[in-house]
Amino acid sequence: MNAKASLQGRRGALGNKKEKKSGKIAKQMKMKINSIFHDYELIDCGNSQKLERFGEIVLIRPEITAIEKPKLTESEWRKLANAEFIETSKNSGTWKIYREIPDKWQIKFESGKINIRAELALTSSKHIGIFPEQVLNWIYISKICNENNYQSFLNLFGYTGLASVAAAPFCEIVTHVDSIKKVVDWTKRNAQNSGYHNLRCITEDALKFVERELKRGNKYNGIILDPPSIGTGTNKEKWILENKIDDLLTKLTQILEKDSFVIMNLYSHSINDKFIHRLILTYFSDFIIDFQETIFGLSSGGNEINHGYFVRLRRKG
């Protein structure tokens, strides 16, 4: 079974849970990411932590949305884990090593033309080079680009570039933008390891890049943006999602081709369905909503974590 069919089957089996929230219908999708991404598994979660497998490596990391009680005991977690991230401050910490772990390792995702080889590594933050739930976007990118023969794709706040790599088999040029040179270099390695050479990797603040593209008259068939709640640009520019997103979307809509699509992921815990609804009505009123749901990842034991809002929009020229 391919990843697309597996995803459809999982959604059919689990369905969409709906609940009243702020006077609107809030859609939720719950799924085990492992059902379509076999090199990743959320083994257990709870007590503000998650136990995950990346290939053969098992890690314990903080997770603010893991509010339930874990299914496994603390000793069982430690027995399974190669390493645990210990927070020493808000955005940094150290790794406690329990079992042998390489400096770098790779996991893969294959589906149709998608061939991703993701390099992972322990860093001074809890992040290791991948957000596994993004597999849902990779599948969507491949589907819509393949069906419409789109040629230009832009990945803003692109991190280590796995969405860029997913778009590479379908687009003539993929433009990848992130404000941190280290992760842009990481993107280049992921592209090379996956066998793609059509990525244009740029270290720049996302809003400044969009402003430059607007002046240059460059446009794109597809854009994905995965902005952090709070971040810092290349020149120490302060990014606060709620304060900056309107300015970004105002300019971003002007560099979209008439025939185009947009993917947004929004993780900030201070935003809600009403906020998302306003963004769509204000900036994408002529787009069709393909998907607008909160994604919950289910552990092997049934506990869940919140992956945030996933929004997919498309427009035919």
Per-residue pLDDT of the chain (317 residues; tens, 9 = 90+): 444 443 433 333 333 444 333 334 458 899 999 999 999 999 999 999 999 999 999 999 999 999 999 999 999 999 999 999 999 987 789 999 999 999 999 999 999 999 999 999 999 999 999 999 999 999 999 999 999 999 999 999 999 999 999 999 999 999 999 999 999 999 999 999 999 999 999 999 999 999 999 999 999 999 999 887 666 666 666 656 777 899 999 999 999 999 999 999 988 767 788 889 999 999 999 999 999 999 999 999 999 999 999 999 999 97
78 falls within a domain: no
- Which residues fall within 8 angstroms of residue 90, CB to CB, at 6 or more apart? none
Counted domains in the chain: 1
The pLDDT value given to residue 267: 82
Separation in Å, CA 113 to CA 100, 146, 225, 246:
34, 9, 22, 35
**Residue 42: what residue type?**
L
153 falls within a domain: yes
Phi and psi, residue 164, nearest 5°? -65, -45
42 falls within a domain: no
Structure pTM?
0.89
277 falls within a domain: yes
CATH number at residue 258: 3.40.50.150
List the beta bridge partners of residue 305.
297
- Report the alpha-carbon distance of residue 131 to residue 129 in Å, rounded: 7
82 falls within a domain: no
137 falls within a domain: yes
Q: Which domain holds residue 173?
A: 3-35+130-315
- Report the alpha-carbon distance of residue 58 to residue 189 in Å, rounded: 23
205 falls within a domain: yes
Check if the beta carbon of residue 289 is closer than 8 Å to that of residue 264: no
48 falls within a domain: no
The two three-digit tokens of residue 110, written as one number:
């294959």
- Report the alpha-carbon distance of residue 173 to residue 175 in Å, rounded: 6
* Interior/surface letters 38-75, b for 16+ CB within 10 angstroms, e for the rest: ebbbbbbbbeebbbbbbeebbbbbebebbebebbbeee
List the beta bridge partners of residue 120.
105
Number of residues assigned to the chain: 317
